[in-house]
Each structure stands twice: as structure tokens, then as C-alpha cells.
């Protein structure tokens, strides 16, 4: 739901550590490190992180337009919306205030950090499917009822697990796996590919 960036990059920008985080994102994209190593290294970078930094990163981030409107429409239809992201939980969970029924991210300690990050709480692509299954049970729906939206390689397994998927500003490796593909800056337009036109 961010356009052209990631939550860790936006957080690191607040600390003047964008270049270091770009290098880490390149390393994980290339498969040189996995999600636990990535989380441990950004945790070390963010030693001085405060809640004010996180709030500033969230508020300044280039979010897609009309996220709240899409989620309100979903709620009004008696359906459910959830966010499952590899990004830090302390950032992702702020989306509950925008109307998501659930928001799950890689489990990080509270900010400012006083304890280490637990590698077992760091999400990966397979974890997205596991969480989606748990949410289906919680909401009383099945995979057959689900639509997945995503933009990264970590969404491939989720796209394969549900009948309908929408790649949002994704590269061809992800977009080619999706039922629909959208490029732009408005979530409502992506939603209209599978939801009712308003």
C-alpha cells in the first residue's frame, strides 16, 4: 500500500539511514539474507528509534490513495480486510486505525527498543499463508472467499493460495502470477478490478 518504497525505508529515512537500508533490501531481494537476518540488521540500525520517528515515518509515507475508503466499503459489505506484511509490527499495526480488521507484521519489540528482536516472530512468505488461514477461521470464511493484494515476492505463496489476486505496482515476476494487475496510486482503482464499481 506504499508507493515506490517500504516501511523500513520510510522508518530509516527518519534516522538518516536510508542508504544502509537500501543495501539490506537489495540483499534480501537477491536472496543473500533471509527475513530473520534482515530483521536483526534493521533492528541494529534502529537503535535510536523512538515512537516519534515511527509516527513521522507513517504520516509522511507515500500511501496509495483511498485506502480508508476501500476498507470502509469492504466493511459496509459485511466483508473483512486484513493486512499481513513482513514489515515491523509496530508500523503495520497502525493501519488498524484506518479500518483494517486485522494487521500483522513481523514481531518487533516496542519502541524504543529495550529487548532484542525474536527471530521466531519474523514473518516470511509462508507465514502470510498461515496467518491468512487463521484469519479465515476467525472471520468464518474460506480461502475461496478471499482476494489477495500484494506487490512483492513475499506475496507469491499467498497469491497461489487464493482464487483471486491483484498485483499492485508489482514487477513482472509477481504480476504474472496474479489474476489482475494494477499500476497506479489509488487503491480504489485496484479494488475495482475485483470489487463492485461505485
Read off φ and ψ for residue 167, nearest 5 degrees. Answer: -85, 125
Q: Is the peptide bond before 182 cis (omega within 30 degrees of 0)?
A: no
CA distances to 81, 143, 145, 151, 155 from 3, in Å: 19, 27, 27, 10, 16
Q: Quote the CA–CA distance of 142 and 144 in Å, as a whole number.
A: 5
pLDDT in tens, 122-150: 999 999 999 999 999 999 999 999 999 99
Homologous superfamily assigned to 7-191: HAD superfamily/HAD-like (3.40.50.1000)
Q: Give residue 172's pLDDT.
A: 87
Over 80: is that where the pLDDT of 197 sits? no
Give the separation between CA 193 and CA 197, rounded to whole angstroms.
8
Residue carrying the nine cell digits 479494488: 191
DSSP 155: G
Contact present, 12 and 42 (Cβ < 8 Å):
yes
**Who's near 87: CB < 8 A, 6+ residues apart?**
6, 7, 8, 105, 106
3-class secondary-structure state, position 26? helix
pTM over 0.85: yes
CB atoms within 10 A of CB 109: 16
User: 25-43: per-residue pLDDT in tens?
Assistant: 999 989 999 999 999 999 9
The pLDDT tens digits of the residues spanning 8-19 come to 999 999 999 999
The confidence band for 196, taking pLDDT boundaries of 50, 70 and 90, is low
Task: Please report, for the chain, the start and end positions of each structural domain, with discontinuous segments joined by +.
Answer: 7-191
87 pLDDT more than 70: yes
Amino acid at each position: 500500500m506504499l508507493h515506490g518504497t517500504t516501511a523500513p525505508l520510510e522508518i530509516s529515512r527518519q534516522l538518516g539511514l536510508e542508504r544502509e537500508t537500501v543495501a539490506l533490501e537489495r540483499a534480501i531481494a537477491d536472496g543473500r539474507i533471509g527475513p530473520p537476518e534482515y530483521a536483526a540488521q534493521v533492528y541494529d540500525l534502529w537503535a535510536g528509534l523512538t515512537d516519534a520517528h515511527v509516527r513521522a515515518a507513517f504520516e509522511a509515507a507515500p500511501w496509495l490513495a483511498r485506502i480508508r475508503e476501500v476498507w470502509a466499503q469492504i466493511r459496509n459489505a459485511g466483508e473483512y480486510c486484513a493486512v499481513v506484511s513482513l514489515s515491523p509490527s509496530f508500523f503495520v499495526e497502525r493501519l488498524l486505525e484506518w479500518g483494517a480488521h486485522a494487521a500483522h507484521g513481523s514481531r518487533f519489540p516496542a519502541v524504543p527498543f529495550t529487548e532484542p528482536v525474536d527471530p521466531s516472530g519474523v514473518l516470511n512468505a509462508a507465514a502470510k499463508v498461515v496467518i491468512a488461514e487463521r484469519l479465515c477461521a476467525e472471520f468464518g470464511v474460506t480461502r475461496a472467499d478471499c482476494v489477495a493484494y500484494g506487490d512483492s515476492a513475499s506475496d507469491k505463496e499467498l497469491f497461489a493460495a487464493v482464487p483471486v489476486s491483484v498485483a499492485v505496482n508489482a514487477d513482472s515476476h509477481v504480476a504474472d502470477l496474479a489474476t489482475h494487475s494494477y499500476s497506479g496510486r489509488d487503491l480504489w482503482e485496484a479494488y475495482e478490478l475485483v470489487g463492485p464499481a461505485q
